[in-house]
Amino acid sequence: MTAAELGPVAFPASTSDKALLPLGALMLAASVGSWAQAPEATLGTVTVRDALEVQSKDTLLIKQTTVGKGKQDIKDIPQSVTVFTERLMNDRNQDDFREVLRTTAGVTFQAGETGEEDVRLRGFSLGQAGDIYVDGMKDAPLYERDTFNNDRVEVLKGSASMLFGKGSTGGVVNQVNKAPLLIDQHEISYTLGTGKYNRAQGDFNFKTGENAALRVNAMIHDADNYGAKQEKRGIAPTFAWGIGTRDEFSVGLYYLDIKGRPNYNSPWIASNGKIIPTLPAKNYYGLNSDHLNTSSQYLTLGHIHRFDDGGELQTRLRHGKYERDLLASVIGFSGTRPTSLDQITSATPLTRTSKGRIGESTMTQIQSDYTNEFNWGGNKHKIIAGVDYYHDDADRNANYANAAGNSSANPSLLTSVGSPNNGASAPDNRAPVAFNTFKAQNIGLYLQDTMSLTSTVKLVGGLRYDQFKASYRNATGALRDSTSEGLWSPRVGAIFQPDELTSYYVSFGTSYNTSGDTYQFSNPTAGSATTPSTESLANTPPEKSRNFEVGGKWELFEQRALLGVAAFYSEKFNERNTDPDNPGYLLSGKRHAAGMEFNLAGHITPKWDIFYNHTWIPEAEIDRSTLAATGTGAQGRGDRPALTPKHSGSVWSTYAVTPKLRLGAGLTYRGKQSPEGSRALVASGFATIDAMAEYTFDQKTSLKLNVTNLSDKLYADSLYRGFYTAGAARTVQLTVKTRF
């Protein structure tokens, strides 16, 4: 039964008798329980909200999402969707956003020279995190992310430019921030772990009025991490009023500051075409003077207007500033690189080479999304329409290294395999930073209609138009460039739902990557009599992609779980290549990836929870390229694209052995893959095991033990030419949590 069938809803005056229940359960009790206990009433112009919107803080199952713009049932989205709930992230102690991405099927990482996230989905780049969003709005690519304010993380697979604009070839990742609830409920936790890990986190929700509430999430995190220290401070207060009424308003602040030392890389060795990891994952070989400091701070103003006809218009305005300052040591073998592990001893010398990057970005965004249902022409229509605008003003220097930190010039900075974290440091002799500037703006308009052709068949059609402009200027002002593009992005699909538990679909969508997107300008040269000029990347038209998908979604185990299975074909059909005959770029490349997606989340039984996501890509190929597939260099025609394993994913399951004891275990795995630029080398696949045991003393307090990477496996989590970044070594963490 839905809330619409129940009639008007009145929230109870007090929830003190329910103060020990989870936040989501209290909301559901407030919505449904009050109907059963109180006379019919309304709060002004309350729009009754469907019970599906009220989703528990303590579940792995989400049936409704916002990743497709507006609130939609996952069964009505004709693409693969994976949702990581707060319960799942808490179960696995995933406090770093990258840990969530690592357990996302189809995701791989390039250990880029800049130290920033270069995330791949189905083998296609997310553009240095350019396709990561917060509440449907672009997130800056500069900073390190934490999950302390995440209600859930949603992943939409396949082309999504119709909804999100440029980028999104492999998909998009949307972080959903926690929002105020009409209850009084608070939760605090403290985690102690190996590597001198200490983390305190609080989630405080205050009902301040009949339809007003304040929610504050805060976090303090300190870890030595065997030398790769990290300190985090975060706070995110949000106040909302008019909740559930005709006009709902919200003001939210977000602040996250992270200071630490980066465990930048380890050098791999090659043997018989295989990449072999070398150095212990927990060892830190950088300098004490190295640092990776990032910050994010933004203000979000929100308004929801609910119309009498059931329509809803949601508008958000966000202004934020994001900063990143990286000074790291690239670790390498001194002299001849070993070719086998038995050649590496504790005395094997290691070099340190300075790598630096600094940047800041100021971003202003506004978007409005309208949703409604109506009958027209004898058919039911669900409309999603919107307009969004952003302006990004970025200053960057991608080569801001410190010459004093190079062991080649200062032999005292040499170290050895057996001497990690040896206390060495170097003075910062860098000149004052000189910034290259990048300014970009984009306005997009979109409209999608889901039409019920019959009681079981729905047709989906959508179209978006974007106008993108960007300009670049180097630090001296000698080089300037700009680009402007106007592009259309369609999406079509059909959905067959023979009953309320089953949905089958077929869809087609497109995406594009503008050549000046995410700071990807190159510098044109004027040329001379002996050296030809080069064409700027900004003058190259956008890359384009398309995604075909057919699949099904089923509610199982008495609607306690949702299963999704899909087959896809993703193709980038005019990929940028360098022109071998004339300096510049050609849209001459083509690559594709074809495979299947599997998603399962929910309760098999009331005591047994399951989360499973898997991507299988048996077929992936560079179909056209200016580079032939020869030698040991970069991938070329006929090669499998780099960072595209056949299998990847994760599974997590918990079981309530007794009313007080819950046990859990999980597996994260990734098949073999090649780094970009090294077509003849392959990194072996890996699987890591995690385990959890949680004991609940009463309805308020629990104690949880987590062990990640149980076997302490050494593996390459991200790859680059000549080096890798190791996955985390075995960690043990103990968390105490209480609600009040």
pLDDT at 116: 65
Label residue 115 left, alpha or beta by phi (over 0 means left) and psi (-120 to 50 means alpha). Answer: left
The answer on 148 and 29 residing in a single domain is: no
The answer on 621 and 689 residing in a single domain is: yes
Q: Which residue has the tokens 């106008």?
A: 467
Q: What is the pLDDT of residues 287-311, one digit of tens each?
A: 999 999 999 999 999 999 999 999 9
Bridge pairing between strands 269-271 and 212-223: unpaired
Q: Name which of 138, 116, 522, 149 is nearest 324 in CA terms.
A: 116
The answer on 72 and 20 residing in a single domain is: no
Is residue 489 one of the residues assigned to a domain?
Answer: no
- Residue 354 to residues 113, 114, 413, 426, 430, Cα–Cα distance (Å): 11, 12, 11, 10, 11
Q: What is the mean pLDDT of residues 110-137?
A: 80
Q: Give dist(CA 152, CA 478) in Å, integer.
A: 45
Q: What is the pLDDT of residues 515-536, one digit of tens each?
A: 665 555 555 444 444 444 444 5
- Residue 559 to residues 61, 63, 588, Cα–Cα distance (Å): 10, 10, 48
Is residue 286 one of the residues assigned to a domain?
Answer: yes
Residue 98 backbone dihedrals phi, psi, to 5 degrees: -65, -30
Which amino acid is present at 420?
Answer: P
Is residue 634 one of the residues assigned to a domain?
Answer: yes
The answer on 246 and 157 residing in a single domain is: yes
pLDDT at 522: 53
Neighbours of 117 (CB within 10 A): 22
The alpha carbons of the chain give a radius of gyration, in whole angstroms, of 26
Per-residue DSSP letter, 36:
H
Per-residue DSSP letter, 5:
H
Q: Give dist(CA 282, CA 228) in Å, integer.
A: 9
pLDDT at 537: 57
The answer on 652 and 529 residing in a single domain is: yes
Q: What tokens were used for 267?
A: 């050098």
The answer on 686 and 594 residing in a single domain is: yes
- Cβ burial 571-586 (10 Å sphere, 16+ → b, else e): bbbbbbbeeeeeebbb
Residue 405 backbone dihedrals phi, psi, to 5 degrees: -95, 10
What 3-state class would DSSP assign to 39?
A: coil
The answer on 145 and 181 residing in a single domain is: yes
Whether residue 574 contacts residue 589, with contact meaning beta carbons closer than 8 Å, is answered with yes
The DSSP element (H or E) to which 91 belongs, if any, is helix 86-91
Q: Give dist(CA 82, CA 89) in Å, integer.
A: 13
Q: Which domain holds residue 20?
A: 3-53
Whether residue 20 contacts residue 191, with contact meaning beta carbons closer than 8 Å, is answered with no
Q: What are 259's strand-pairing partners?
A: 231
Q: Domains in the chain: how many in total?
A: 2
Q: Give dist(CA 512, CA 489) in Å, integer.
A: 8
Q: Among 474-478, 500-504, 606-610, 643-647, where is mean pLDDT lowest? A: 474-478
Torsion of CA 31, 34, 38, 41, to 10 degrees: -20
The answer on 235 and 176 residing in a single domain is: yes
Domain-ending residue, one of 33, 53, 73 = 53
Is residue 461 one of the residues assigned to a domain?
Answer: yes
- The beta strand positions in 377-434, using DSSP E, are 379-397, 415-416
Q: What is the mean pLDDT of residues 625-639?
A: 84
Q: Give dist(CA 244, CA 213) in Å, integer.
A: 12
Neighbour order of strands in the sheet with 107-110: 124-125, 118-121, 107-110, 716-720, 723-726, 266-267
Average per-residue pLDDT for the chain: 87
Whether residue 618 contacts residue 595, with contact meaning beta carbons closer than 8 Å, is answered with yes
Which amino acid is present at 181?
Answer: L
Q: Among 168-172, 400-404, 548-552, where is mean pLDDT lowest? A: 168-172
Helix, strand, coil abundance in the chain, percent, nearest 5: 10, 55, 40
User: Could you tell me the pTM of the whole model?
Assistant: 0.89
Q: Give dist(CA 130, CA 173) in Å, integer.
A: 10
Check whether 729 has a pLDDT greater than 80.
yes
The percent of residues above 90 in pLDDT, for the chain, comes to 73
Q: Give dist(CA 692, CA 699) in Å, integer.
A: 19
Check whether 11 has a pLDDT greater than 70.
no
Q: Give dist(CA 672, CA 237) in Å, integer.
A: 43
The answer on 123 and 28 residing in a single domain is: no
Q: Give dist(CA 71, CA 384) in Å, integer.
A: 9
Q: What tokens were used for 211?
A: 């339809």
Check whether 474 has a pLDDT greater than 90.
no
Residue 293 backbone dihedrals phi, psi, to 5 degrees: -115, 125
Q: Give dist(CA 31, CA 52) in Å, integer.
A: 11
Q: Name which of 728, 665, 661 is nearest 694 in CA terms.
A: 661
pLDDT band of residue 358 (cuts 50, 70, 90) is very high
Q: Among 68-72, 219-223, 361-365, 681-685, where is mean pLDDT lowest? A: 68-72
Is residue 485 one of the residues assigned to a domain?
Answer: no
Q: Give dist(CA 484, CA 455) in Å, integer.
A: 44
Q: Give dist(CA 399, CA 394) in Å, integer.
A: 15
Q: Give dist(CA 159, CA 153) in Å, integer.
A: 18
Check whether 503 has a pLDDT greater than 70.
yes
Check whether 613 has a pLDDT greater than 70.
yes
Is residue 480 one of the residues assigned to a domain?
Answer: no
- Residue 260 to residues 284, 293, 413, 471, 719, Cα–Cα distance (Å): 12, 6, 20, 33, 22
Within 8 A by CB and 6+ apart from 194, the residues are 730, 731, 732, 733
How many residues in the chain? 740
Tell me which of 478 and 223 has the higher pLDDT. Answer: 223
pLDDT band of residue 670 (cuts 50, 70, 90) is very high
Whether residue 718 contacts residue 111, with contact meaning beta carbons closer than 8 Å, is answered with yes
The answer on 118 and 28 residing in a single domain is: no
Q: What is the pLDDT of residues 47-99, one digit of tens each?
A: 334 333 344 578 999 999 988 788 889 999 999 999 999 999 999 999 999 99
Q: Give dist(CA 168, CA 514) in Å, integer.
A: 11
Q: What are 610's strand-pairing partners?
A: 602, 653
Is residue 384 one of the residues assigned to a domain?
Answer: yes
Q: Give dist(CA 90, CA 285) in Å, integer.
A: 31
The answer on 437 and 564 residing in a single domain is: yes
- Residue 541 to residues 538, 568, 577, 622, Cα–Cα distance (Å): 8, 26, 12, 20
pLDDT at 627: 82
Check whether 198 has a pLDDT greater than 70.
yes
Is residue 411 one of the residues assigned to a domain?
Answer: yes
Tell me which of 127 and 406 has the higher pLDDT. Answer: 406
What 3-state class would DSSP assign to 170?
A: coil
The answer on 80 and 46 residing in a single domain is: no
Whether residue 651 contacts residue 690, with contact meaning beta carbons closer than 8 Å, is answered with no
User: The domain spanning residue 733 has which CATH number?
Assistant: 2.40.170.20
Angle at 191 between CA 188 and CA 193, to 5 degrees: 180
Q: What is the pLDDT of residues 572-581, one digit of tens each?
A: 988 776 545 4
What 3-state class would DSSP assign to 501?
A: coil
